[in-house]
Amino acid sequence: MTTGKPLRADARRNRDALLAKARELFANGCFDLRFDDFARLAGVGTGTLYRHFPTRAALAEAVYREELTAMCARARELQATLPAVEALAAFLRGFVDHLHSHQGLARTLATLMAARSDTLADGGRQLDRAIADLLAKGVEEGTIRDDVSAGAVMMVLQGICTGCDQLGSRDDADGAVTLMLDGLRRRAS
């Protein structure tokens, strides 16, 4: 568990190794192993694991926060470098791709963090802000409708992502994103 002060280089390496191994295990849907075995797979001692992440939920939360930070940074990068509709399309497709390939993290979070809804709510607010900024750029450019909120886009994304674990859903998810983007475009009057 971090205390806010900078970590020594070796402690940072250990923490990074733990997070990298957690991401890998989440992606493979393999997070039910004993915490001691997890430490061994990450190449650190059990004490090191517990010092950084005293529970599975704390580890899942740290991975979630890192992934969320990366997604929001990606939204800002896209917004700064692409026209609004292209930026929004790239972000939404990337978001769905990310969730599709990180289903293990989503399941782990749902299982382990039911009591920590503040973490998930905070993440939802960050994603909402990133999407709101992308929409606002499109409204400003005149390419995206001004009557659709980020909350509505998030709701559609949640529906798309809920179906992502069904066989053949990847193509359908892409089609649903295309449909949403078409609905968000501002039409000439």
Instruction: For each of the domains in the chain, give its residue range(s) and CATH number, in order of start.
Output: 9-52 (1.10.10), 56-184 (1.10.357.10)
- Is residue 131 a contact partner of residue 154, using CB atoms and an 8 Å limit? yes
Which of 111, 129, 128, 109 has its CA nearest to residue 119?
109
116, pLDDT greater than 60: no
Q: At what angle do helices 9-27 and 35-42 cross, to 10 degrees?
A: 110
Which range, of 38-47, 122-131, 157-166, averages the lowest pLDDT? 157-166
Look up the pTM and report it.
0.80
26, pLDDT greater than 90: no
- Is residue 75 a contact partner of residue 133, using CB atoms and an 8 Å limit? yes
103, pLDDT greater than 90: no
Which of 94, 33, 88, 97 has its CA nearest to residue 59?
33
Spatial distance between the Cα atoms of 37 and 40, rounded to a whole number of angstroms? 5
Spatial distance between the Cα atoms of 58 and 179, rounded to a whole number of angstroms? 37
Which pairs with CB-CB distance under 8 Å and at least 24 residues apart come from 72-81?
72/126, 72/127, 72/129, 72/130, 75/130, 75/131, 75/133, 75/134, 76/130, 76/133, 78/134, 79/133, 79/134, 79/137
The structure tokens 């949640």 sit at 158
- Give the pLDDT confidence of 43-100 residue by residue, as tens digits: 888 898 999 888 877 888 888 888 889 999 999 999 999 999 999 999 999 988 887 7
Q: Please report, as a single letter, which amino acid is at residue 159.
A: G
With a pLDDT cut of 90, the percent of the chain lying above it is 30
Higher pLDDT: 69 or 113? It is 69
